[in-house]
Amino acid sequence: METLSDNACFGGRQLVLRHASKATGTDMTFGLFLPSEPQGAPVLWYLSGLTCTHENAMTKAGLQGWAAEAGVALVFPDTSPRGEGVPDDDAYDMGQGAGFYVDATEEPWTGHFRMQSYVLDDLPEAVFGAYPLDREAQGITGHSMGGHGALTLAMKAPGRFRSVSAFAPICAPASSDWGTPQLAAYTGDPAAHDATRLLGGGATLPPCLIDTGAADQFGDLLRTEDFAAAAIAARADVQVNLRPGYDHSYFFVSTFAGDHVAFHAEHLW
């Protein structure tokens, strides 16, 4: 694993690292924040949204200060494989920067677009193999497409995460233009990667917190209300907040980042 940068940050270290991924067959870059005492620290995975890289949340979300206070490590994966020979698409919501955190089964994506395996298997192997963090204390969060990933991966890997949260997640991609075309192209089956349908079909969630802006310009694509209804029907431990005046931007994420880190810290320690 190669260290691309290493900076002091809130008494800890903010690193950017690159490693060879078996899951994607490419080199992958990710961010890692280590608190001042990383030995045995719990880990919060942050999954970013469409068009983002590992860098967006690392530099815009303001999570590190809250994580330092709570003694939590943060991992910021990229949103897709990249590089020469990796398929792409002219649309911003397909291809590089838009992996949707699934393992593709359809051509031309299947060779490299294996982001579910990357986030659940490949990257944790690299992180826990190199740093003395607590593998048994993991939480997962994300924004937009990354919120979709956080919810679905928490349900696809029961017992892995002690807590899950999401900022403005894509909650019902099988019923949305943010999900149906992309997941059909990647896997042929959008419903298999739809958080609302997974929860309604009996999947279980750890304690869950969702914040969505009431002024989100993409609210009709997120379908937060569908997931809230499924959570009530399933009697799941889910808190959904609709925040008046807030939109889909990182200003929204940074406003409530402290709430989300505190929520995870309560369950991780």
Q: Which active-site residues does the annotation give? A: 144, 216, 248
Strands 138-142, 43-47: pairing kind: parallel
Are the beta carbons of 75 and 32 closer than 8 angstroms? yes
Are the beta carbons of 169 and 195 closer than 8 angstroms? yes
Place of tokens 């206070």: 69
DSSP string covering 34-48: E-S--TT--EEEEE-
| Rounded-to-integer distance, Cα 42 and Cα 120, Å | 16
- Burial class from Cβ neighbours inside 10 Å (0-12, 13-18, 19+) for residue 230 reads buried
| Rounded-to-integer distance, Cα 56 and Cα 225, Å | 27
